Structure 1
Amino acid sequence: MSRLLAEVEADPQQFIPRASQPVWTDPETGFHRRGVSPPASGYMTEMVEGTLPPGAVIAYQAPPVAGLEHHLWMLSGRLDLTLDGTRHALSAGDTLRYRLTGGSRFHCPGPDAAHYVIAITRP
């Protein structure tokens, strides 16, 4: 939805100060999402900073758009990311590149929060 709304912007911001970056927290899981470089007209990539609390799980049945290219960079903590049934155990400094074609599951095994950045590019 955020991408659709961004597409109507005639002249998207080039400089996005932290105070202008959209933030959302899921009340059920505590997942915190910051749109570091939110979707905008004329740009194919967005960047999202995510923080998933210890023990939290977020699962998606399918991607919003098949074939989205993701580059996930772990800043701190640990994250178990399952893509199409394959589990990837990520720690601080690790990067996982993938095309999102099916279900995904994010799990933070703890003991600290999983803090990461995802660059997402439309196909």
Structure 2
Amino acid sequence: MTSDGDDGTARLAATLQGVRESRGLSANALADLSGVSRAMIGKIERGEAQPTAALLGRLIGPLGLTMSELFTRVEGPRNRLARRADQPLWTDPETGYQRRAVSPPDGHLQLVEVELPPGRSVSYPPDPFVRTHHQIWVLAGRLLFREGDAEHDLAAGDCLELGPPQPCTYANPGKTTTRYLVALAKNA
């Protein structure tokens, strides 16, 4: 899914609304649980607003999803081979952060390639990290990763295994785009 175009926005909107409703949550209940206003949830679900990565991070925790699970639902099931041309790409409208779902959907392991522009950062609450084992492997550039009170300064080739779920921030302090791979496995 590319974030460009109405079709991707409409699929994301319908998926978020469908998951919310399947969990028996009203938009007001989701607003209370996520800290996202009822008005913004309505705009997102009607496809009138493209949510940022940080905003999606706040919404998916109360919905019981990871970001990868959300985008897998948006794209729908496919086969075991995920060719690059078919890998869903989403761009955060606020930061320019690009997220590519590399691995085939519905597998036990999810691989996500991320490009974070220079001087940008994306923060998430702890909820999206609760149900997954999470590792970050820096492919190019430098990544400052804040995990609660700990800050990890990662260079190309470094790999970090996340600890217990905490608020996290991915930040690119450099002058070039940082590329990293996120590997997620569902906790048993």
Question: What is the alpha-carbon distance in structure 1 between the residues aligned to residue 186 and residue 124 of structure 2?
Answer: 18
Tell me how far 1:24 sits from its aligned partner. 0.4
**Once superposed, what is the RMSD of the aligned Cα atoms?**
1.9
Q: Distance in 1 between matches of 2:113 and 2:176?
A: 16
Larger Rg belongs to: 2
| Unaligned ranges ≥5, structure 1 | none
Query: How far does residue 36 in structure 1 lie from its aligned partner after superposition?
Result: 0.2
Corresponding position of 1:69:
133
Seen in structure 2, the aligned counterparts of structure 1 residues 65 and 57 have a Cα distance that, compared at 3 Å, is closer
Which residue in 2 is equivalent to 1:47? 111
* Residue 89 of structure 1, aligned match among 153, 170, 175: 153
* Identical-residue share of aligned pairs (%): 36
**Are residue 114 (structure 1) and residue 151 (structure 2) matched?**
no
Task: Structure 2: state its 5+ residue gaps.
Answer: 1-64
Following the alignment from structure 2 to structure 1, what is the Cα–Cα distance between the partners of residues 122 and 104? Answer: 21
* Structure 1 counterpart of 2:96, from 30, 34, 42: 30
Q: Match for 2:82: what amino acid?
A: I
Q: For 2:184 and 2:97, how far apart are their aligned partners in 1?
A: 18
Decide which structure has greater strand share.
1
Q: Is 1:21 aligned with 2:87?
A: yes
Task: Please report the TM-score for the alignment, with normalisation by the length of structure 2.
Answer: 0.58
Structure 2 equivalent of residue 104 of structure 1: 168
Q: Greater RCO between the two (CA within 8 Å, min separation 6)?
A: 1
